[in-house]
Amino acid sequence: MIEMAETIAVIGGTGNLGAAIARRLAKAGRTVIIGSRSQESAERAAAELGFGLSGRANANAARKADIIIIAVPFAAQAGTIADIAPHCAGKIVVDTTVPLVPPKVMRVQLPPEGSAAQRAQSQLGEDVTVVSAFHNVAAHKLATDEAIDCDVLVFGDDKAAREQVVELAGLMGLRAFHAGALCNSAAAEALTSILIFINKNYGPGEAGIRLTGILE
């Protein structure tokens, strides 16, 4: 269980997805630090979002946190992880990275490691427990108080850590499921390109997925 006293850092928390995650968790009463490359941007975003959020430079946010959520574009993933890695040992790092390669974001282009999540794990090393999630939720919907019609698939090799992220999603008002080992993250990461394609071809920009046929 996630203790109320635990601090959550959202690295890249000034971006669309990061800000939406930080806001929902802070609104749920959790202690959340927004991280950004510059402390000033982080502080500004935190002040704008309200709900008691604070802002720090990424490495500093990671250092203060018990749970670290990474919400940066694929192109920034490796650099960001290099920046925060010294402060991740022994912690759960939740990677949300989707390996989109512009301009062809409607084409699945998984990295050689198999998935962005596996790339993160390999960069962070065995002292860090990487879980991946939140690949398919539309950030502009998550930024509102509306109900989200999209399930969250949670991947990771450590079941207890996965359970914490399932809980985090629940705090954010999302329905989430254990979806297996970290390598399975490839499925949700790839699915985002499909959802972008579906949005372009079927509109109106809010495509998501729901699991069916399960006991609830």
Residues that bind its own copies (CB under 8 A): 106-110, 114, 138, 149-150, 153, 177-181, 183-184, 186-188, 190-191, 193-194, 197-199, 201-215
- Return the number of the residue (105 or 171) whose C-beta is nearest its own copies: 105
| 44, 57 Cβ separation under 8 angstroms | no
CB of 107 to its own copies, least distance (A): 6
Of 137, 152, 149, 143, the C-alpha closest to 185 is 152
- Return the number of the residue (48 or 178) whose C-beta is nearest its own copies: 178
Of 143, 134, 139, the C-alpha closest to 177 is 134
CA distance 55 to 53: 7
CB of 171 to its own copies, least distance (A): 20
- Return the number of the residue (103 or 213) whose C-beta is nearest its own copies: 213
- Return the number of the residue (13 or 99) whose C-beta is nearest its own copies: 99
CB of 133 to its own copies, least distance (A): 13
CA 42 to chain centre: 17
CB of 135 to its own copies, least distance (A): 11
- Return the number of the residue (123 or 199) whose C-beta is nearest its own copies: 199
**Tokens 């940066």, residue?**
72
How many CA atoms lie within 13 Å of 48's alpha carbon, on the beta-carbon side?
A: 12
**Tokens 């629940």, residue?**
170
